[in-house]
Amino acid sequence: MISNEDTKNINYVYIIECSDGTLYTGYTNNLDKRIYTHNKGKGAKYTRFRLPVKLRYYEQYELKSEALKREYKIKQMTRKQKLKLIEK
C-alpha cells in the first residue's frame, strides 16, 4: 500500500545557470532546498566555484526513474538545445 506521503513526493529535473554562463542539469526531490544548497557551495562540485546559480528550467515527475531518465536525456543535449528548452 502506498502512503499519502509517497504520493506527494515530486521528483524534479532542473537546469541552472552558473555565474559564468554555463548550464548545469540535475535531479532532486526538493527543488528549493537543492538550489539553496548549490548557492551555499554545498551542491555539485561543478557549481561550487561558479556561484551564484540561478534556476532557469525544471520539469516534475511522479517517479524517480522517469526523472533520472529525463535528466540523462537533457545532459546529452547541446547547449543550444538546452537553451531552446529553457525558452519554451
Average pLDDT of the chain, as a whole number: 91
pLDDT digit string, tens, across residues 27-50: 999 999 999 999 999 989 999 999
C-alpha cell, 1: 500500500
Q: Give dist(CA 11, CA 28) in Å, integer.
A: 6
pLDDT exceeds 90 at position 54: yes
The yes-or-no verdict on residue 26 having pLDDT over 90 is yes
- Cell 535531479, residue located: 27
| Cα 47 to Cα 7: distance, rounded to the nearest angstrom | 31
pTM: 0.87
pLDDT per residue over 65-77, tens digit each? 999 999 999 999 9
pLDDT band of residue 8 (cuts 50, 70, 90) is low
Domains of the chain in sequence order: 4-87 (3.40.1440.10)
Residue 21's φ and ψ, nearest 5 degrees, are 90, -5
